Amino acid sequence: MRQSELFTKTRKEAPKDEVAKNAKLLIRAGFVHKEMAGVYSYLPLGLRVLKKINNIIRREMDAIGGQELFLTALQDKSVWEKTNRWDDSVVDNWFKTKLKNGSELGLGFTHEEPLTKLMKEHISSFRDLPAYPYQIQTKFRNEIRAKSGIMRGREFLMKDLYSFSKDENEHNSFYEKAKGAYGKIFASVGLGDMTYITFASGGSFSKYSHEFQTICEAGEDIIFVSEEKKIAVNKEVYDDKTLEDLGLKKEELKEEKAIEVGNIFSLGTRFSEAFNLDYTDENGEKNPVVMGSYGIGPGRLMGAIVEIFSDEKGIVWPESVAPFGVHLLRLGGDSEVMSQADGVYADLQNAGMEVLYDDREGASAGEKFADSDLIGIPWRVVASAKTAAAGKLELKNRKTGEVKMADKKELLEEIANY
């Protein structure tokens, strides 16, 4: 993409009412637009990042047997009344609306109920199980607080997978696979070393659920980390009984602030019983389906990445989710510089690399350097009068700050082999 054709612009300042670092940087760099508190639009650069995160998630969900679908956001009141979750005293973050005929509807904040109802049409025998449908779909939650940028939204994307199993053993087997898949997702986006499986409340479904918490000062949760066992305990269940269950000692644990980037939990048969989702086993007997739920917010994950991978100049994207792999800056407009820049632009693309080419005529060298640091693409390549005369290009690694001169061949090898 040529930056001269990119309609979005960088900004020197973020909106004054924005307090979260992730939103400040993403707005200034032209990745997102703030519509209102907790509601953000994804602009072209931001959408490229979001799609890459989604595709990493899809890859790992597909690898453990997930099948993608897309459910409706508009929800039928009667479906939710079967589990008593339509009641505002039970679920206090509904967005509700009405049709012209007065029928009341809700905007989905999760999808256990409608998917369980849907699966009644597809599950009747043990031969139909297990099943692992998932979606990446917009959710709506009427949050009281929406001050953490794209990490806590009122409208946001959620990857929610639901497992449907014959019994606890089959469920537990998949649950462990999901744990592993989540670990691969967080490793792929650069958060693996700082993300811990965290024991949290299981609510009415199980003794514990499992959160995936990423250590970060901007986090809203307090967790207690065991570096030795690579697990953590959420403050909400941090007591002597939990530590005894997990074989942990208080003196071994370190208190940290963290961002919850994912969660998985067992649902048992609560929803299948509410909707009479049964299957007939090999002996002809009916049994309720055992369920589980597995969530990741791609936008929340994107916000966490920015909170962690940024510096005083801007964002520092991990290569796996960066909007482009290379940011090519053309400094000056004489024929030799243009020829060198256009040539390396073609060479990088021919080598299969995604390139943002800053070919803007009106921007100064200082503006281009500042914008490049703010946008945070992993590699910066500079073509200028100096590089054209030397027959080389300037290459900078955004993460390490290392700068070197390289010819085209060296440049391509350096980027490809990093």
Considering the domain architecture, whether residues 32 and 88 belong to the same structural domain is answered as: yes
Q: Is residue 179 part of a domain?
A: yes
The 10 Å Cβ neighbour count of residue 404 is: 13
pLDDT value of residue 147: 77
Considering the domain architecture, whether residues 292 and 338 belong to the same structural domain is answered as: no
Task: Specify the amino acid at residue 196.
Answer: Y
Instruction: Give yes or no for a cis peptide into 323 (omega within 30° of 0).
Output: no
Q: Is residue 372 part of a domain?
A: yes
Considering the domain architecture, whether residues 288 and 382 belong to the same structural domain is answered as: no
The contacts found for 8-13 with CB under 8 angstroms, 24 or more apart, are: 8/43, 8/44, 8/45, 10/370, 10/371, 10/374, 10/375
Q: Choose one of 311, 344, 364: the last residue of a domain.
A: 311
Compute the half-sphere exposure of residue 376: CA atoms within 13 Å on the CB side of its CA: 31
Considering the domain architecture, whether residues 255 and 354 belong to the same structural domain is answered as: no
pLDDT value of residue 202: 83
Beta strands in 77-120 (DSSP E): 95-98, 104-107
Q: Is residue 321 part of a domain?
A: no
Total structural domains in the chain? 2
d(CA 143, CA 110) in angstroms, rounded, equals 14
Residue 132 maps to which CATH number? 3.30.930.10
Q: Is 131 helix (H, G, I), strand (E, B) or coil?
A: strand
Hey, what are 2's tokens?
A: 């040529």
pLDDT value of residue 333: 83
Residue pair 12/27 in contact (Cβ under 8 Å)? The answer is no
Considering the domain architecture, whether residues 60 and 178 belong to the same structural domain is answered as: yes
Q: pLDDT digits over 217-242, tens only?
A: 999 999 999 999 999 999 999 999 99
Q: pLDDT digits over 252-275, tens only?
A: 999 999 999 999 999 999 999 999
What 8-state DSSP symbol labels residue 161?
E
Q: Choose one of 284, 311, 338: the last residue of a domain.
A: 311
Hey, what are 231's tokens?
A: 């697990």
How many helices and strands (H and E) does the chain possess? Answer: 12, 23
Q: Taking Cα atoms as reference points, which of 320, 309, 301, 322 lies closest to residue 399? A: 309
Torsion of CA 141, 145, 146, 150, to 10 degrees: -80
Considering the domain architecture, whether residues 8 and 126 belong to the same structural domain is answered as: yes
Q: Choose one of 280, 311, 342: the last residue of a domain.
A: 311
Q: Is residue 209 part of a domain?
A: yes
Residue pair 212/221 in contact (Cβ under 8 Å)? The answer is no
Residue 337 belongs to domain spanning: 326-417
Task: Specify the amino acid at residue 235.
Answer: K
Q: Is residue 221 part of a domain?
A: yes
Considering the domain architecture, whether residues 228 and 298 belong to the same structural domain is answered as: yes
Hey, what are 208's tokens?
A: 């514990």
Considering the domain architecture, whether residues 202 and 290 belong to the same structural domain is answered as: yes
Q: Which residue has the tokens 């390490």?
A: 400
Q: Is 383 helix (H, G, I), strand (E, B) or coil?
A: strand
Positions in the chain short of pLDDT 50: none
Residue pair 2/355 in contact (Cβ under 8 Å)? The answer is no
pLDDT value of residue 282: 97
Q: Is residue 317 part of a domain?
A: no
State the pTM of this model. Answer: 0.95
Q: Taking Cα atoms as reference points, which of 379, 383, 384, 386 lies closest to residue 413? A: 379
Q: Is residue 316 part of a domain?
A: no
Longest dimension (CA), the chain: 82
d(CA 163, CA 175) in angstroms, rounded, equals 9
Considering the domain architecture, whether residues 138 and 243 belong to the same structural domain is answered as: yes
Residue 357 maps to which CATH number? 3.40.50.800
Considering the domain architecture, whether residues 141 and 217 belong to the same structural domain is answered as: yes
Q: Is residue 319 part of a domain?
A: no
